[in-house]
């Protein structure tokens, strides 16, 4: 009976196993159902919280579906003109070197209009972090061909499928940047199941760590979904990434400043 009394004196309680990260605001994200932009935001926020960087982070929102990113992160933020994210990030990082500065860019923003900004930032070894969402279309403007569109992929501007003779071949950003000495961390990840989500989180964490360590430029490409303009369900979109996108864009850690090789 004494045991029972003791048990009653200790009320049961709950321990949080997973909470919405504090680095996300309570604002509902405007992305379409099942779009992995939201997953990427959540992972970035989790990493900023875990590394205790949220209070000194400046997010650079760019142009595209993620244009409202400044409303979603509980950080300071600046909205950059189309493609100019890494240039704006450079200015902020150089004038406020204690800040952690990251850009969040889609493939339209980074690989099309903003290609020179990201290459030159990498070339200068700018100590910023770039999150690059590659979903192979311009999502915000209703699914036109992007530089990253797969060969044969139908979009509103390639109704017969992308023809390499007419429109060239998909742009491989990580491969382009991988030989640049100023790059400290460079990886391509995706978010199609719990394992790849965990892998993506680990790479995002390493990219921010590279910046916090002052090691140089870091970029994580996230092969992402666009259920709306791929005309697929959220789950079918993840399968399409697995079966089609990853054939063109293999997952890989290209550069890791901590790896000796």
Partner 1 sequence: MKHSYRVAINAEHCKACGLCIEFCPQDVLGFASTRNDAGFYPAEVQDQANCIGCLRCAMMCPDACIEIWRLVSADDRVAAAESVTR
Q: Restricting to residues 188-207, which ones interact with partner 1 according to CB under 8 A?
A: 193-194, 197-198
The answer to the question of residue 159 lying near partner 1 (CB under 8 A) is no
To the nearest whole angstrom, how small is the minimum distance from the Cβ of residue 166 to partner 1?
34
List the structure tokens of 42: 């959540």
C-beta closer to partner 1: residue 25 or 144 = 25
Q: Restricting to residues 34-63, which ones interact with partner 1 according to CB under 8 A?
A: 34-39, 41-42, 45
**For residue 249, how far is the Cα from the chain centroid?**
15
Instruction: Say if residues 35 and 226 touch (Cβ distance below 8 Å).
Output: yes
Instruction: Say if residues 222 and 131 touch (Cβ distance below 8 Å).
Output: yes
Coil, strand or helix at 220: strand
The answer to the question of residue 31 lying near partner 1 (CB under 8 A) is yes
**Among 1, 5, 8, 166, contact with partner 1 (rule: CB under 8 A):** 8
**Among 10, 98, 159, 214, contact with partner 1 (rule: CB under 8 A):** 10
The answer to the question of residue 16 lying near partner 1 (CB under 8 A) is yes
Radius of gyration for the chain, computed over Cα atoms and rounded to the nearest angstrom: 20
Q: Restricting to residues 228-257, which ones interact with partner 1 according to CB under 8 A?
A: 233-235, 238
Number of residues that bind partner 1 (CB under 8 A): 40
Question: Using CA atoms, how far apart are residues 228 and 250, in angstroms rounded to an integer?
Answer: 23
To the nearest whole angstrom, how small is the minimum distance from the Cβ of residue 39 to partner 1?
5
Query: Of 149, 157, 79, whose CA–CA distance to 112 is shortest?
Result: 149
């Amino acid at each position: 009976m004494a045991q029972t009394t003791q048990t009653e004196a200790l009320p049961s309680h709950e321990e949080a196993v997973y909470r919405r990260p504090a680095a996300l605001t309570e604002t509902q994200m405007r992305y379409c159902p099942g779009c992995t932009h939201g997953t990427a935001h959540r992972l970035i926020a989790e990493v900023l919280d875990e590394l205790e960087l949220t209070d000194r982070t400046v997010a650079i929102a760019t142009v595209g579906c993620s244009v409202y990113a400044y409303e979603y992160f509980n950080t300071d933020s600046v909205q950059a003109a189309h493609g100019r994210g890494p240039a704006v990030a450079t200015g902020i990082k150089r004038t406020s070197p204690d800040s952690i500065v990251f850009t969040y860019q889609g493939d339209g923003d980074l690989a099309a209009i903003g290609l020179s900004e990201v290459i030159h930032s990498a070339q200068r070894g700018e100590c910023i972090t770039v999150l690059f969402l590659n979903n192979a279309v311009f999502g915000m403007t209703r699914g036109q061909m992007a530089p990253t569109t797969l060969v044969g992929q139908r979009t509103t501007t390639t109704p017969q499928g992308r023809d390499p003779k007419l429109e060239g071949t998909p742009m491989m950003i990580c491969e382009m940047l991988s030989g640049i000495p100023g790059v400290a961390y460079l990886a391509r990840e995706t978010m199609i199941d719990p394992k790849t989500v965990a892998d993506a989180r680990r790479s995002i964490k390493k990219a921010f760590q590279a910046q916090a360590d002052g090691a140089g430029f870091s970029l994580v490409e996230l092969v992402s979904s666009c259920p709306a303009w791929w005309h697929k369900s959220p789950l079918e979109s993840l399968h399409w990434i697995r079966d089609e996108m990853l054939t063109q864009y293999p997952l890989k850690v290209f550069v890791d400043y901590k790896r000796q090789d």
